[in-house]
Amino acid sequence: MSKVLVTGGAGFIGSHIVEELLQNNFSVTVIDNFSTGRYENIEHLPIEVHNHDITHPSVIELIVSIRPDYIIHQAAQVSVAESVRDILFDEKVNIRGSLHVINAAIKSKVKRIVFASSAAVYGNPAALPLTIDHPTEPESPYGLTKLTVENYLKMSSKLYQLPYSILRYSNVYGPRQDAKGEGGVVAIFSNQLTENRTPVIYGDGEQTRDFIFVKDVASANVKALFAKENICVHVSSATCISINELLETMKEAAGSKLRPIYKQDRPGDIRDSILANEDTKTLLNWEPSIKVYEGLEETLQFSKNKQLLSLNG
């Protein structure tokens, strides 16, 4: 049975990847420092868990001792706003931490490292939909750190024969998400609608995003383990929706009449984004299976259940 190490495996996306791996009969080990990941996301699963921080150099020897066949690297600082506020912390986690993982992957001679990158590497698009060969001009430190790690992986392939798959995510959403990160607006709206609080939209709400359901992202990660080596692809729905339309869709699903308030847009946020995924479908033998309305309903139900638990707990 092949062993897969998932960094950040107790987090929003990571925990769904762990479940997908188990369903595909992999042995799974998780490294997470639980700064944003939650033990409750994985405590019921038959896996090995290490509470450790990828920014600490000792993680290298820990990974070597685990002897993984594959590494799926999800651990990251995921907030664009936080990267603007604290550029050094963003570098420490997303570059230094990733280099520790890459170094350990080289030492361990893993068969593949799968890296969670982002549409933020592009900055403001010159044309839509974005294709993988679109120029990369990040508008935020977060986007820059993701692009930097991509380049380290490409160099590591040449210098150390480390096979990789780079997955550039669009805006991921779904159950277990907190309010941070690129897809965080869905989690924020879910919480606001569930708790009957006024939704807040930054900017005019006409900015668009390509939302992809977390279980589709998990499926893409598992398929990337055995796809062609050294590829960079989008994990996206290849559709877009405005933030105003997103809120209206969620209000309909939640049966809510709440009206939003609008605030100043945030630095580092891009205006529009939609990622082409034809190459991904071919190279990973994958395609998204969850429609936006279905995914939003499942996300809202998760928020409702969580609220009920907190009220009864």
**Catalytic residue IDs:** 142
* Beta partners for residue 212, in sequence order: 172
Report which of 147, 129, 126 is spatially closest to residue 138, judged by C-alpha positions.
147
| 6 vs 157: CA distance, rounded Å | 20
| 53 vs 103: CA distance, rounded Å | 15
Lookup result for tokens 């390509």 = 210
Per-residue DSSP letters for 93-132?
Answer: IIIIIHHHHHHHHHHHT-SEEEEEEEGGGS-S-SSSSB-T
| 236 vs 302: CA distance, rounded Å | 22
Q: How far is CA 85 from the centre of its chain?
A: 20
| 293 vs 30: CA distance, rounded Å | 31
Report which of 176, 198, 246, 151 is spatially closest to residue 19, judged by C-alpha positions.
176
For residue 202, the surrounding DSSP H or E stretch is strand 200-202
Helical residues (DSSP H) of 161-291, grouped into ranges: 184-194, 214-224, 243-254, 278-284
| 15 vs 32: CA distance, rounded Å | 11
Query: Taking a C-beta distance cutoff of 8 angstroms, is the pair 300, 247 a contact?
Result: no
Query: Taking a C-beta distance cutoff of 8 angstroms, is the pair 171, 208 a contact?
Result: no
